[in-house]
Every structure is written in structure tokens, then in C-alpha cells.
Amino acid sequence: MANEITATKLLIEAEGNTAKFVGIFINLFDNDPADAQRVERLGANTEQLRDALRAHIGDSTVPFVMSGPSRYGGTAEQRQVIYDHLRGLEAADVASGVFDARMNTEISGGVFVYPEDYAFDGLHFSALGQVKKARGYFDTWKLVLERIAAPAAAASPPSPTEFVARIDAAILNGLDVVSFPGNGGQIVLRGLDEMMRAREQYAILIQRKSGVRRTLARFN
């Protein structure tokens, strides 16, 4: 998976564009629920997978949207344990979200109905089920973006000096992305070119403020 991400990123950049990762969408544990030991490890394993992918991308705020088993693989009780693990990851990380794919007979408010949302084998989603699945991912992704933006909007933006310091730290640590609150949302700089251009502009602001202070001090 890491190799595929790297190859895709290189292909995008080779065409003169900048790669922007808008989210990671993953369907988890189709067959794992039948194994009790793996059920108990699902939360920790998924957290490691999420963090490893984000680290490889170089952005800890990339939305991570999860979905689990529907009507197959283990018992309803085991599926509940799995979704409890996923909800725990969601609660602990503002950039993670869960789309519950269980049937409406198993959970209140479920969107999937058997058999119309399933193929003839009773295991895989039908065309209608796949459309519902895609819509669930998309709606959850939007909610995650809102969660990410909400604390950023309330936070105070850094001063120009702090802004430059954060960019310098990101470059020093070899990061491809740096982000901070500002303009009522989240400012995200991707790639060395964006970071350096922003740093230059904020360095000019620092110089101007310093010049104003010197002028005031001189004439006061």
C-alpha cells in the first residue's frame, strides 16, 4: 500500500501537479469477526495502520474514514465489538470517522436492507448497496472535515514569528505538509515551494512590524 501511494504521488508530480491527499477510505474486517482473537486486536491494528499511512503521506490530519462488516462474518455480538473499537478510534481522533454498514435489522437507523442491497450470493453488495456504501463514505468524510475545521476556527492563528518558526521546523524535519489555524479555518501548506513562499511573505510582515516599532520608538 505504501509503495502504491508513493508511485501515485510520483506520477502526479511527474505531470507537473502537486499531490493532495483528501482522505483514506477503508472497509475493514470483512472476514475477521469469525476469529475472536483478531476481534480484540482490531482497534489497535487499525490505529497502527492509520498512523502508518498518515506518516507515509506526511500529514497527520488526512481524514481516515472506516467502515466494518455488514451482515456476514461472525455474530451480531462480534460485529458490535468491532464497531465499538472503531467508534473508540473516532472519538480519540478528530480526523477519523466511522460509517456503520450493518443492516437496519441489526442497528437502529441502519441504511442497508436485505435482500435489496445485496447480490444473489447474499454476501456482496448489489449495485444499489454499493451506491449506499459510497454515499455513507462521502457523508462521513464531510462530517470529519467539519470536525477538523471546528476547533481550527475557534483557535487563534499564530503570529507571523510563530508561523515562520513552524514552517522552519517542518522543513527541518522533512515534512511535506504543515498546517495551522487561520482565516476562520485551517491553513494547509503542501510541498516545499508553498512553504517557502508563505515563509517569505510572513518574513516580510515581521520586518514591516519591526520597522514600525523602530519608527515609533524614534519619534516618541
15 pLDDT higher than 50: yes
Check residue 13 and give its pLDDT. Answer: 87
DSSP letters spanning 97-156: EEE---BTTTSTT--B-TTTTB-TTSSSB-HHHHHHHHHHHHHHHHHHHHHHHHHHHHSP
134/175 same-domain check: no
pLDDT band at 159; cut points 50, 70, 90: confident
pLDDT digits (tens, 9 = 90+) for 121-150: 888 899 999 999 999 999 999 999 988 887
Of 133, 153, 173, the residue that ends a domain is: 153
Please state the rounded mean pLDDT for residues 60-88.
88
173/66 same-domain check: no
107/196 same-domain check: no
Residue 190 corresponds to which cell in the numbers above? 503542501
96/138 same-domain check: yes
66 pLDDT higher than 60: yes
Rounded to 5 degrees, φ, ψ at 73 are 75, 95
15/102 same-domain check: yes
- From edge to edge, which strands make up the β-sheet containing 64-67? 24-27, 64-67, 96-99
Of 153, 170, 191, the residue that ends a domain is: 153
Query: What percentage of the chain has pLDDT greater than the value 90?
Result: 25
106/211 same-domain check: no
Of 116, 135, 153, the residue that ends a domain is: 153
pLDDT digits (tens, 9 = 90+) for 192-212: 777 888 888 888 777 776 654
pLDDT digits (tens, 9 = 90+) for 79-94: 888 889 998 999 889 9
In whole angstroms, give the CA distance from residue 190 to residue 192.
7
215 pLDDT higher than 50: no
Check residue 3 and give its pLDDT. Answer: 83
**Does 185 or 46 have the greater pLDDT score?**
46
pTM of structure? 0.66
Domain that holds residue 87: 2-153
